[in-house]
Amino acid sequence: MPHSPSGGAGHGAAAADTGLMSIGAVLNVLREEFPEVTISKIRFLEAEGLIEPQRTPSGYRKFSAGDVERLGHVLRMQRDHYLPLKVIREHLEAVERGEAAPLPVLGRQRDGESAEPVGTDAPTAARIGRAQLLAAAGVDERQFAEWESYGLLSPVEEGVYDAEAVTVAGLICELGRFGIEPRHLRAMKAAADREAGLVDQVVAPLRRHRNPQTRAHAEARTKELAGLTVKLHAALVHLALGVRVP
């Protein structure tokens, strides 16, 4: 498969003569649909065997159009269906073997909730181990412990994190390149918690409903409201900074 420089956009744009793209160029393409995706997330998905970009002699990744399409498919299955990477990998492998592989219907299971069926499968949370998260973020224990001390990341259980922590870790690293330290991000975390609390208030009655279909509808409503709050937050930040987004 094609590759692109692993270090980021500095190595480039798509190579017109080969049709291969750098990881930075791939990031720009994916962010049109997945604004929160990071280079760390792409590297993590590669480490998990979801994609296999080519490498240049100097070690830079080169991605083909097929790689980018596959990445988008993986990210879509995570975002829209809350599928864990193991399930996604098995699904893609089955498709590549030419087998009929209907997409599993899974929902995110919240801590403390029993697993209610949605379709024919029980909800499955997407999780990642601490060592995997450290590797994906490219940080050591000391840095990671600092993030946790400011409440930016926390395990869902001992040594296990929500897979979305990969995105958070990547963004923390990217902001760090501009001199924004973890301690500066506490206000963002507090604002996110308040926004999440507001969404929870709206969907709580649906989650407590006795009808399984109504509870399943709560997931869709949560996702919709989360998307709206993220868009509003971004718009307010742009407005406050006087930044116009094309």
Summarised one tens digit per residue, pLDDT across range 16-33 is 445 899 999 999 999 988
pTM exceeds cut of 0.75: no
Residue 5 has pLDDT above 50, yes or no: no
Tell how strand 54-55 and strand 127-129 pair up: unpaired
Strand partners, 118: 121
Q: How many CB atoms lie within 10 A of CB 138?
A: 14
Q: Which helix (H) or strand (E) holds 190?
A: helix 186-207
Q: Locate the DSSP E strands across 31-176.
A: 54-55, 61-62, 127-129, 160-162
The predicted pLDDT at position 159 comes to 85
The tokens describing 63, both together, are 């991605």
Tens of pLDDT, residue by residue over 169-198, are 888 988 888 999 999 999 999 998 999 899
- In the beta sheet, which residues pair with residue 164? none
| Helix/strand number for the chain, H first, E second | 9, 4
Q: How far apart are CA 42 and CA 30, in angstroms?
A: 10
Give 62's strand partners. 54
Contact 22, 9 (CB under 8 A): yes
Residue 114: predicted pLDDT: 35
pLDDT mean across residues, the chain? 79
Q: Which residue has the higher pLDDT, 164 or 24?
A: 24
Let me know: does 36 contact 75? Beta carbons within 8 Å.
no
Virtual CA dihedral for 89, 227, 223, 201, nearest 10 degrees?
A: 150
Give the per-residue pLDDT at 103: 65
How does DSSP assign 162-176, residue by residue? ETTHHHHHHHHHHHH
Confidence at 246, pLDDT banded by 50, 70, 90: low
pLDDT of residue 25: 92
* Burial label, 112 (beta-carbon count in 10 A; 0-12, 13-18, 19+): exposed
Per-residue pLDDT at 142 exceeds 50: yes
pLDDT for 118 beyond 70 = no
What stretch of H or E contains 62? strand 61-62
Considering only residues 100 and 207, tell me which one the structure prediction assigns the higher pLDDT: 207
pLDDT reading at 232 higher than 70: yes
